[in-house]
Amino acid sequence: MLAVARERIEKNGLENKVVLHQAGVVEIDRLFDEKSFDLITSTLVMSELYDEERQWALKELVRILKPDGKLLVVSEVRPKHFLKRAIYYALRFPLALVTYLISQTGTKPVRNLADEIRQAGFEITEERYSFLESFVTVVARRSEIAQPAAVARAMVSQSRGAWITQNRHTGQRQSGRRYRQFSPYGSASRKGTYKSELLSACRSVKGHQRLVCICRW
């Protein structure tokens, strides 16, 4: 992921505008200042995290997002409807098994991602689900209500993510571990939808604004 990003940055002559960070989610507080981004995007990352990691990460995203900024999250979630959930697990199980056998890792769909985003201190402005309700796109902003107290629980495990950000920081750190992921919904149409969501969000950022994208690597 980072190699592809670096290649595209060089191809488009954006070396002076984009900085790549390879880091664990617990390093957000070290990398980024409070209220420093106009737009934050997270694509297929939340389901990679343990509950404690996800709660901590969301609270950090509240901290680094500007008051008038926007959060865009695309994630794998657990369908609420029984029939759709049954179909989803029937499709997911064989590919999840192959993923585990090859890479010794896997993902776990989030049960109540929208609720977790609200509890972290965001106000959801848009929420869209795929046909099977197994993927969700959430658009949110900082809530005007007082932010909840920060999570004090120690973070032991590292996330497996890559940070692509237009940021003044230039240092790169390496943490986490590599893995391969095989998505049961990795069709061209679904990938195209996610790409369209991300491109649309990125185009909304003006020249003087700052963007951070959170993605798997």
pTM (predicted TM-score): 0.67
What tokens appear for 145 in the block?
Answer: 């209500």
Question: How big is the CA angle at 103 (ends 72 and 2), to the nearest 5 degrees?
Answer: 45
Domain that holds residue 66: 2-215
3-class secondary structure, 191: helix
CB 92 within 8 A of CB 166: no
Distance (Å, whole) CA 57 – CA 66: 16
Give the pLDDT confidence score for residue 151 in this predicted structure.
38
Give the pLDDT confidence score for residue 197 in this predicted structure.
56
Crossing angle of helices 113-120 and 51-64, in 10° steps, is 50
**Residues with pLDDT less than 50, the chain:** 146, 148-191
Give the pLDDT confidence score for residue 130 in this predicted structure.
93
Give the pLDDT confidence score for residue 174 in this predicted structure.
35
How many folded domains does the chain comprise? 1
Distance (Å, whole) CA 151 – CA 120: 10
Burial of 51 (0-12, 13-18, 19+ CB in 10 A): exposed
Give the pLDDT confidence score for residue 48 in this predicted structure.
85
Q: What is the 3-state secondary structure (H, E, C) of 76-132?
A: EECCCCHHHHHHHHHHHHHHHHHHHHHHCCCCCCECCHHHHHHHHCEEEEEEEECCC
CATH of the domain at 103: 3.40.50
